[in-house]
Amino acid sequence: MSDETGTPEDQAGSARGEAEGGGPRPEPLRFFGTSWVDHDHGYAARRAAVAAGSLAAAVVSCLVLRFAYDGLQIAGTGAFVTVLIIAMFAICSALAFRNTWEGFGRRHDPQRQASLRGLLAIGFVGSLLAYFLRALAEAPGEKLHREEYDKAREEYQRRSSRRTGDPSKRKRRR
């Protein structure tokens, strides 16, 4: 068995001189791992796949919602209920889009996310569209993770540059 363990992204991190304990490691992104750091290991193909997949999922979701609308028409629930359902999905999708889009630039408050869970589930089409649009420019969440990773690397460099060597090997003044 080989001595190499981990994903190609982890091995690339080791190749850059970031051995264990040797500095901050980038946080992996969903569908991208750590390929977002250097835009390697099929980063462009993954971005295209995420964009196409989220757009396809949004289209299929809209078709499912169309069947639900047809079901309301067949049931004869009336115009008020139909307008209410359409407004609910439209508003929830808009809120889910905004929430997802903002999540690409800053971390969400976990308590707020928990309270919005139902609303975001109803507005899943908005989240899918946000993923599609963001994947056209970068990996969804890459900007936030890059800022955090760069900041962590700067702090690590500042901390490690203060050290001038092993203090036990220094000559003592007499």
Taking the chain (174 residues) in runs of 10, the rounded mean pLDDT of each run is 42 42 79 80 88 95 92 89 92 94 87 89 94 89 85 85 66 65
Domain presence at residue 6: no
Report which residue type is found at 57.
Answer: A
pLDDT at position 142, please?
A: 84
The count of structural domains within the chain is 1
Domain presence at residue 91: yes
pLDDT at position 6, please?
A: 43
Domain presence at residue 168: no
Residue 109, domain extent = 24-137
pLDDT at position 125, please?
A: 95
pTM of the entire predicted model: 0.72
Domain presence at residue 90: yes
Domain presence at residue 154: no
Beta-bridge partners for 29:
33
pLDDT at position 34, please?
A: 79
Domain presence at residue 156: no
Domain presence at residue 173: no
pLDDT at position 61, please?
A: 94
Domain presence at residue 123: yes
